[in-house]
């Protein structure tokens, strides 16, 4: 007879594993199934985020940042070094160690919380039965009162550009180049293309990024994306706008790329090519035809605002449903759904999910951009403040970037905060709290911020909404 669980979660990425832990904390008998196999050939929990996404990319961004600074900016501090080298194998080993520490940590958390972990492929059958096909091909069935689908996403492939795992790669391949490519082509100037392009640029690759759109980071407030682009250009990232890649092939270990831009059809050659044109919800083989769960026309699992699917008792969270494809958004949905199943209230406010791009400078934002407010004809006022006018950013030798706040013209309620600069990935949290508490820009302006800190730029931007910033002319 099938073993009976209160909750069966399919997928152990940040959406699924967090849902499983929270469900178990709430006293629900919980199982979590995941198919991911790590670099060591063994099952590895944590999904895209921990294995081939957020965490390994941040590890490489950090290593490459130290190398870049040693070569380019520490001289300003009076620090000199000779024979500076980069041991790529050691850099990758450090990254892999962090990944295995964290993925192993989830296995430990599952054990501590009594979540039953199953390695294999999960499929939802009818009547909330879940079939597991283990990696050795054997199958078993679990019976669930509630099912949480958290199957995540996979890289989008574009026509005529086939991944070969060596010369033409996705994020996973670009996290494991065994040496710095001399010439790296990147398709897509989005979050992943910019982060991984930055890593290899800092390590010495010539990086050309092809972006089909005529403008840079259209989801980002235009003042901020303009400031960031200026810095990326200084770092030697060659971003070509309006350049749509039409195909690529590998000949004698050289990637030959075809693209079209304002000058018509063009070609370029690279040693490696990273395809980073976005990700799509993944649900291949997840749903039996008669299981009762439907997909949207974009291939996402269809859910309502509480992550409930078309079948009662079945929920879906994370990248496989609508909303931003971000780890923390999926985790919040996982917690909310576990709490709903346990009879508590659970809700995720998608309007206050923070976004971060971990380039140099970092880019972070929450809420609406100026472009969006104009398009929606919402009256707003704005205040901004450059990091170059803060003592802390100058002391850190990181003066690039700014903070910009958008507030409603009549009520002063904060509608969006946008920033690029050092550590803005951390600074954005204050603004998320402010928006969650429906703060006005005046509220932020009246809060005492420590001196000297980068957070003073947030304070001054709030003061500047009312044209009373202290350390710049209003």
Cβ nearer to ligand AMP, comparing 188 with 292: 188
Buried b (16+ CB within 10 A) or exposed e, 356-371: bbbbbbbbbbbbbbbe
Q: Does 69 bind ligand FAD (CB under 6 A)?
A: no
Distance CA 420, CA 354 (A): 13
Picked from ligand AMP, ligand FAD, none, the partner binding residue 197 (CB below 5 to 8 A depending on kind) is: none
Q: Does 194 bind ligand FAD (CB under 6 A)?
A: no
Cβ nearer to ligand FAD, comparing 161 with 407: 161
Among 67, 68, 121, 232, binds ligand FAD (CB under 6 A): 121
Size of the site for ligand AMP (CB under 6 A): 16
Q: Does 171 bind ligand FAD (CB under 6 A)?
A: yes
Among 211, 221, 370, 398, binds ligand AMP (CB under 6 A): 211
DSSP state of 469: -
Residue 469 — left, alpha, or beta (φ > 0 → left; ψ -120 to 50 → alpha)?
beta
In whole angstroms, how close is the CB of 176 to ligand AMP at the nearest point?
Answer: 19
Nearest position to ligand AMP, beta carbon: 190
C-alpha dihedral sign at 53, 56, 61, 62: positive
DSSP state of 264: E
Picked from ligand FAD, ligand AMP, none, the partner binding residue 211 (CB below 5 to 8 A depending on kind) is: ligand AMP
Closest CA to 147 of 44, 287, 352, 347: 287
String marking each residue 295-314 x if it binds ligand FAD according to CB under 6 A: --------------------
Distance CA 7, CA 24 (A): 9
* DSSP-assigned states of every residue in 139-167: EEEEEEEEEEE---EEEPP-TT----SSS
HEC sequence for 386-417: EHHHCHHHHHCCCCCCEEEEEEECCCCEEEEE
**What are the backbone angles phi and psi of residue 202, rounded to the nearest 5°?**
-65, -25
String marking each residue 13-32 x if it binds ligand FAD according to CB under 6 A: xxxx----------------
Cis? peptide before 321, omega within 30° of 0? no
Distance CA 339, CA 306 (A): 11
Q: Does 153 bind ligand FAD (CB under 6 A)?
A: yes
Q: Which of 72, 408, 451, 471 is catalytic?
A: 451
Cβ nearer to ligand AMP, comparing 60 with 217: 217
Picked from ligand FAD, ligand AMP, none, the partner binding residue 198 (CB below 5 to 8 A depending on kind) is: none
Cβ nearer to ligand FAD, comparing 319 with 339: 319
418 catalytic residue (yes or no): no
Q: Does 282 bind ligand AMP (CB under 6 A)?
A: no
Distance CA 197, CA 189 (A): 9
Q: Does 32 bind ligand AMP (CB under 6 A)?
A: no
Cβ nearer to ligand FAD, comparing 2 with 375: 2
Q: Please name the residue ranges forming H helices in 206-325.
A: 222-234
Buried b (16+ CB within 10 A) or exposed e, 414-450: bbbbbbbbbbbbebbebbbebbeeebbbbebbeeebe
Q: Does 210 bind ligand AMP (CB under 6 A)?
A: yes
In whole angstroms, how close is the CB of 12 to ligand FAD at the nearest point?
Answer: 6
Name residues contacting ligand AMP, limited to 185-204 (CB under 6 A).
187-192
Picked from ligand FAD, ligand AMP, none, the partner binding residue 277 (CB below 5 to 8 A depending on kind) is: ligand AMP
String marking each residue 219-258 x if it binds ligand AMP according to CB under 6 A: -------------------------xx-------------
Cβ nearer to ligand AMP, comparing 55 with 119: 55
For residue 199, what is the enclosing H or E element? helix 191-202
Among 276, 320, 434, 463, binds ligand AMP (CB under 6 A): 276
DSSP state of 465: H
Q: Does 445 bind ligand FAD (CB under 6 A)?
A: no
Positions marked active-site:
451
- Residues lying near ligand AMP in the complex (CB under 6 A) are found at 158, 187-192, 210-213, 244-245, 276-278
């Amino acid at each position: 007879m099938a073993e009976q669980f209160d909750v069966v979660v399919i997928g152990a990425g940040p959406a699924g594993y967090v849902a499983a832990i929270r469900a178990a904390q709430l006293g629900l008998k919980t199982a979590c199934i995941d198919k991911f196999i790590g670099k060591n050939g063994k099952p590895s929990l944590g999904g895209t985020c921990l294995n081939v996404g957020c965490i390994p990319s941040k590890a490489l961004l950090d290593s490459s940042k130290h190398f870049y600074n040693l070569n380019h900016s520490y001289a300003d501090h009076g620090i000199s070094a000779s024979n500076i080298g980069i041991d790529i194998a050691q850099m990758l080993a450090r990254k892999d160690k962090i990944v295995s520490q964290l993925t192993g940590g989830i296995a430990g958390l599952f054990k501590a919380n009594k979540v039953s972990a199953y390695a294999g492929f999960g499929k939802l059958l009818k009547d909330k039965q879940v079939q597991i096909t283990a990696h050795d091909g054997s199958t078993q069935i679990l019976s669930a009162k509630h099912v949480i689908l958290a199957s995540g996403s996979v890289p989008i492939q574009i026509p005529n550009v086939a991944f070969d795992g060596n010369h033409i790669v996705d994020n996973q391949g670009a996290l494991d180049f065994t040496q710095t490519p001399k010439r790296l082509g990147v398709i897509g100037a989005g979050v992943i293309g910019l982060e991984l392009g930055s890593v290899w640029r800092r390590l010495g690759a010539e990086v050309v990024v092809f972006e089909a759109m005529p403008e840079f980071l259209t989801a980002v407030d235009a003042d901020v994306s303009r400031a960031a682009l200026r810095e990326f250009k200084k770092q030697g990232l060659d971003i070509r706008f309006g350049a749509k890649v039409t195909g690529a092939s590998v000949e004698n270990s050289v990637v030959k790329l075809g693209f079209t831009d304002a000058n018509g059809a063009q070609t370029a050659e690279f040693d490696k090519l990273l395809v980073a044109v976005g990700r799509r919800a993944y649900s291949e083989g997840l749903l039996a035809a008669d299981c009762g769960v439907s997909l949207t026309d974009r291939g996402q699992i269809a859910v309502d605002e509480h992550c409930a699917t078309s079948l009662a008792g079945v929920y879906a969270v994370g990248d496989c449903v609508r909303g931003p494809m971000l780890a923390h958004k999926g985790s919040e949905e996982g917690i909310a759904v576990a709490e709903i199943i346990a009879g508590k209230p659970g809700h995720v406010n998608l309007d206050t999910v923070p976004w971060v791009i971990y380039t140099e400078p970092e880019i972070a934002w929450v809420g609406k951009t100026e472009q969006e407010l104009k398009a929606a004809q919402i009256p707003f006022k704005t205040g901004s403040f450059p990091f170059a006018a803060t003592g802390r950013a100058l002391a850190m030798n990181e003066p690039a970037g700014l903070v910009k706040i958008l507030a409603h013209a009549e009520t002063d309620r904060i509608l969006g905060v946008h920033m690029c600069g050092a550590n803005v990935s951390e600074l954005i949290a204050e603004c998320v709290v402010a928006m969650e508490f429906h703060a006005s820009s005046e509220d932020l302006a009246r809060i005492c911020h420590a001196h000297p800190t980068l957070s003073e730029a947030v304070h001054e931007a709030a003061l500047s909404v009312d044209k009373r910033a202290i350390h710049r002319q209003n």
